[in-house]
Structure 1
Amino acid sequence: MSQQTAVTTHHIPEDLPTRIQHFIDGAFVDSVSGATFDVLDPVSNEIYATAAAGQKEDIDLAVAAATRAFKQGPWPRMKPRERARVLNRIADAVEAQDKRLAELETFDTGLPITQALGQAQRAAENFRFFADLIVAQSDDAYKVPGSQLNYVNRKPIGVAGLITPWNTPFMLESWKLAPALASGCTVVLKPAEFTPLSASLWAGIFRDAGLPDGVFNLVNGLGEEAGDALVKHPDVPLISFTGESRTGQLIFGNAAPYLKGLSMELGGKSPAVVFADADLDAAIDSTLFGVFSLNGERCTAGSRILVERPIYDEFLARYAERAKNIVVGDPHDPATEVGALVHPEHYEKVMSYVELGKQEGRLLAGGGRPEGLDTGNYVAPTVFADVAPDARIFQEEIFGPVVAITPFDSDVEALELANGVKYGLAAYIWTNDLQRAHTFAQSVEAGMVWLNSHNVRDLRTPFGGVKASGLGHEGGYRSIDFYTDQQAVHITLGPVHTARFGATPHRPEEAEEAAEDAGDA
């Protein structure tokens, strides 16, 4: 099947580093052991850099630096407004170099340049949002007239371990770094090993913004080495992780002996449910964007489309035709809509699902490598129709430009199909029936629901999933909740009536007072 392709030239950014180091206690350093790993460009799959491969001893150094900065440094003790000024300077710096950030992110990940630019700008907004939130934040206070005043005192918990994925790395790093730093925590960031390039830029941005040494530490490396050591470190009370559900299970088990706080945003297989009364033009636009933007490498992708039978055939025809016209090509070309997948390992995984889908569904578009793109991790936007609910391409997260479309005949069947997977991250519902929209939204097993829209984020709202899609929520005050202890402080305002255990001589009325006080326990 033919596919639109952009130019196939290979853009290589100027001043591209060939060596990527850790950043610990204000300095760039190699691994203690000298270990490194290779980093590939997803367009050519050639090695363009070596990165320091963090081991337990590197994590130990980073955690020690973060602990010193937390216990002895100024950051946790600064007023919210002072921290907010630093966060706003960070946002200024990100905005000032957003095109350079996007260029490097595109080179490292294969994301289309226009979409990478949007992610860089969102990273700046994340810091601005939490700078505002930490200043505006208020806490509960309760007064018992004439007796007691009770209030909540928030305190940063300590060293936060942040483990981030490779799909939109710079933005997702900001999504964790901004609230952690706003709350007064110090951090150790372990970015994804496929995409360490943009993470290395944070060090200079933070230093220029005035973040004290040791508050931000970065250790590159493999998940089973650096990530595992971070999760198991006894001086790291918090782990925020975004990645695969299987990895989340391992982290959950490894963190359990230390009773660590966990926030985990995991995999998804999100449904987009299109009813016959929907605005079909808008639904097609949104469901195409929802699965093929960011190369399909997005946790909230609406990769299962459920379509009501009366419009099923029309939807298939129009959707497939549009999918065939999606422009695939060099990620740095502004015309490109789908670029190269991040790594050859991931490319092979996605292509294995494409081949499986040819047995489990009816291929309408794509199904292989686009014409004219003979090298690099390119997959044509692929559409399968008539996919049964027990098919693997219906049940399993592919994390690529592949979509499964399935018909339904009733609201009840649509809900069963939507909920019939182990994941529960997002859901998208298309209908002009207000009652159906709200009823379905409240019944679908998903942490986030969009009605007549694709994924449009409001940073004030909770972000997270249910079932195998996550544990806990971040976003707005929920992020601040995660990175802070909420200490209840009780102040007595009047006389305290306490049973006088052991007092003599014993008076009968004291027994009654003791009984009353015991009832308050």
Structure 2
Amino acid sequence: MSSFAHPEHVQHYINGQFVESASGKRFENVNPFTNKVINTVAEGDKEEIDRAVKAAREAFDHGPWRTMSVNERLSYLYKIADLIDQAADEIAYLESLDTGLPIKQTQKQAARAAENFRFYAEMVKSRLHGEAYQKDNDFINYTIYKPVGVAGLITPWNAPFMLETWKVAPALATGNTCILKPAEWSPLTAHKLAEIVNEAGLPSGVFNVVHGFGETAGASLVAHPDVQLISFTGETVTGSEIIKNGADTLKRYSMELGGKSPIIVFEDADFERAVDACIFGIFSFNGERCTANSRLFVQSSIKEQFIDALLERLPHIVVGDPMDSNTEVGPLIHRVHQQRVLEYLKIAESEGAEVVSGHVPIAYRDGNFVPPTVLLNVTNEMRVAQEEIFGPVLAVMLFDTEEEAIRLANDVKYGLASYIWTNDIKRAHRVAQSIEAGMTWINSQNVRDLRIPFGGAKYSGIGREGGHYAFEFYTETQVIHVAIGDTPIPKFGKLKV
């Protein structure tokens, strides 16, 4: 893996060309494992956003993308998927280098990214069709789905390549043009995606990438009057600011925001599987996962057995070099984020929780490591039970009855995901339907089927992505009414004879 090279400098990709910022400004991209500079990145601002939007607007209004045949347009998506497959090892390496995610996990993300393009190509062919409604012999009314225009896609730094393709694929498949604003902490694979798109030969302006900071490049993209769509994945406060900043231009928004997801383990659960799922759900992806089961509610009757099992496994979780295939937890994305997570461990102690942490080898002290951590003696009103920590930290709480489990699980502002473990199938359905969450898994870890909708309730988001549900966001539904009979038309202003 280490044989792959990374670019010494990352440029924007605008109107089919790799370009510098007009200002000449750059920022440094830092390796989370060593905290050494990987490379520099062009820092985009309003001017680069304006250039990218102009290119995307021209490509949509006057270019061939929207008007070419569906099969021709989708052929580009299949070519992008093939090129991703060919570069999968390089993409996994760049992703681990940039984010600190273990290479064993980024390899799976690269494969998933290619699948995103093939999946949406197939979905457009099989599901993007209208309906017809005939009214007697007088009218036929039918619907068609049209691309909306220019999409602004703002993506996070956790699993960046997969999440970028998850937005780009449906945007392009439905005929929109787009500007991708990747997270400034993880620019490498966004740049690789631009290289792949360029190699695939998409018409100029259809796909653009502007690097930079949310306060400047991101805000300019959101506020731009020629951008009709904003798809954002990230933190809830940022999502709220985005909606405010773009309010004057009446955009469509798709918001996949924060989470504080519960995992509820009843006494009759398949014990070993529940332990495995709980550990995987919070410690995979370094805990930097929006759907992580960061709040464990375990029934009091099995509390000692379940907590003992967690704590027994904790020191055996392999923390280390993200490029090592044995590593299960790597460094967090950035020193700033590491300090934020560590501050929550101090808050937990101040609130009366017991902090039990795993082990980080001393050789890795230069990295942004937070050891896998379990918080005991937590109550649901504590900050560590209510606020999204976004790291490898599990808050453990107890419940006695089904009703109490539901009440505690819902007593939080977020509602993205939830997990239920019980062998009582009636109870499983009752509890699942009572949880305020966009997604619930029963007796399962976090697994994704691309056909299902993805999104949250309450402060966890607006709208749904995934499957054909993404078409509601990326397309405009037009109704066309056709008179086929001679139904009389009311006459206004008829002259008297």
Question: Normalising by the residue count of structure 2, what TM-score does the alignment of the two structures yield?
Answer: 0.98
Choose the corresponding residue for 2:454, options 454, 460, 463: 463
1:414 — aligned with what? 405
Deviates more, 1:131-140 or 1:287-296: 131-140
Q: CA deviation at 1:414?
A: 0.4
Q: CA deviation at 1:365?
A: 3.2
Please show how residues 7-406 of structure 1 align to structure 2 within 5 Å. 14-137=4-127, 138-360=129-351, 362-363=353-354, 365-366=356-357, 369-406=360-397
**Alpha-carbon displacement from aligned partner over 1:328-360 (angstroms, at most 9, x marks no partner):** 000000000001111000010011112222333
Contact 2:349 2:355 in 1 (8 A): no
Contact 1:360 1:388 in 2 (8 A): no
User: Distance in 1 between the 2:176 and 2:400 partners?
Assistant: 51
Contact 2:233 2:256 in 1 (8 A): yes
User: Distance in 2 between the 1:86 and 1:222 partners?
Assistant: 30
User: Distance in 2 between the 1:73 and 1:54 partners?
Assistant: 25
Amino acid at match of 1:59: I
Amino acid at match of 1:60: D
Q: CA deviation at 1:39?
A: 0.5
**Alpha-carbon displacement from aligned partner over 1:306-347 (angstroms, at most 9, x marks no partner):** 001111110000011112210000000000000111100001
Contact 1:21 1:51 in 2 (8 A): yes
Contact 1:242 1:265 in 2 (8 A): yes
Going from structure 1 to structure 2, the CA distance change for 1:370 and 1:420 (only over 3 Å counts) comes to farther
Amino acid at match of 1:376: G
Secondary structure of the structure 2 residue equivalent to 1:103 = helix
User: Distance in 2 between the 1:91 and 1:176 partners?
Assistant: 14
Contact 1:56 1:225 in 2 (8 A): yes
Going from structure 1 to structure 2, the CA distance change for 1:434 and 1:14 (only over 3 Å counts) comes to closer
User: Distance in 2 between the 1:284 and 1:76 partners?
Assistant: 50
Q: CA deviation at 1:12?
A: 5.5
Amino acid at match of 1:259: L
Contact 1:370 1:379 in 2 (8 A): no
Root mean square deviation, CA, Å = 1.3
Contact 2:116 2:166 in 1 (8 A): yes
User: Distance in 2 between the 1:260 and 1:51 partners?
Assistant: 29
1:481 — aligned with what? 472
Amino acid at match of 1:316: I
Secondary structure of the structure 1 residue equivalent to 2:436 = coil
* Structure with greater Cα Rg: 1
Secondary structure of the structure 2 residue equivalent to 1:490 = strand
Secondary structure of the structure 1 residue equivalent to 2:423 = coil
Amino acid at match of 1:282: R
Q: CA deviation at 1:153?
A: 1.3
Deviates more, 1:226-235 or 1:92-101: 92-101
Amino acid at match of 2:45: Q
Secondary structure of the structure 2 residue equivalent to 1:77 = coil
User: Distance in 2 between the 1:208 and 1:311 partners?
Assistant: 56
Secondary structure of the structure 2 residue equivalent to 1:273 = strand
Deviates more, 1:60-69 or 1:319-328: 319-328
Going from structure 1 to structure 2, the CA distance change for 1:72 and 1:289 (only over 3 Å counts) comes to same
Stretches of structure 1 lacking an aligned partner (at least 5 in a row): 1-10, 507-521
User: Distance in 2 between the 1:401 and 1:88 partners?
Assistant: 36
Secondary structure of the structure 1 residue equivalent to 2:137 = coil
Secondary structure of the structure 2 residue equivalent to 1:73 = coil
Which consecutive aligned stretches of 4+ in structure 1 deviate over 3 angstroms post-superposition? 11-14, 359-365, 367-372
User: Distance in 1 between the 2:207 and 2:169 partners?
Assistant: 11
Amino acid at match of 2:218: G
User: Distance in 1 between the 2:314 and 2:483 partners?
Assistant: 68
Amino acid at match of 2:87: Q
Contact 2:264 2:419 in 1 (8 A): yes
Secondary structure of the structure 1 residue equivalent to 2:364 = coil
Deviates more, 1:400-409 or 1:198-207: 198-207
User: Distance in 1 between the 2:2 and 2:114 partners?
Assistant: 25
User: Distance in 1 between the 2:350 and 2:313 partners?
Assistant: 23
User: Distance in 2 between the 1:14 and 1:111 partners?
Assistant: 17
Amino acid at match of 1:338: V
Secondary structure of the structure 2 residue equivalent to 1:75 = coil
Choose the corresponding residue for 1:436, options 427, 452, 460: 427
Deviates more, 1:492-501 or 1:63-72: 492-501
Identical amino acids, percent of aligned pairs = 52
Amino acid at match of 1:349: R
1:425 aligns with 2:416: yes
User: Distance in 2 between the 1:145 and 1:78 partners?
Assistant: 35
Q: CA deviation at 1:95?
A: 1.1
Going from structure 1 to structure 2, the CA distance change for 1:324 and 1:249 (only over 3 Å counts) comes to same
User: Distance in 2 between the 1:121 and 1:365 partners?
Assistant: 35
Contact 1:94 1:205 in 2 (8 A): yes
Amino acid at match of 2:136: P
Secondary structure of the structure 1 residue equivalent to 2:332 = coil
Amino acid at match of 2:456: G
Q: CA deviation at 1:208?
A: 2.1
Contact 1:13 1:107 in 2 (8 A): no
Secondary structure of the structure 2 residue equivalent to 1:50 = strand
Number of aligned positions between the proteins: 496
User: Distance in 2 between the 1:13 and 1:272 partners?
Assistant: 40
Contact 2:345 2:355 in 1 (8 A): no
User: Distance in 2 between the 1:141 and 1:405 partners?
Assistant: 53
User: Distance in 2 between the 1:363 and 1:84 partners?
Assistant: 54
Secondary structure of the structure 1 residue equivalent to 2:167 = helix
Secondary structure of the structure 1 residue equivalent to 2:246 = helix
Deviates more, 1:344-353 or 1:140-149: 140-149
Contact 2:315 2:358 in 1 (8 A): no
Q: CA deviation at 1:368?
A: 7.5
**Alpha-carbon displacement from aligned partner over 1:280-318 (angstroms, at most 9, x marks no partner):** 111110110000000000000000010011111100000
Question: Normalising by the residue count of structure 1, what TM-score does the alignment of the two structures yield?
Answer: 0.93
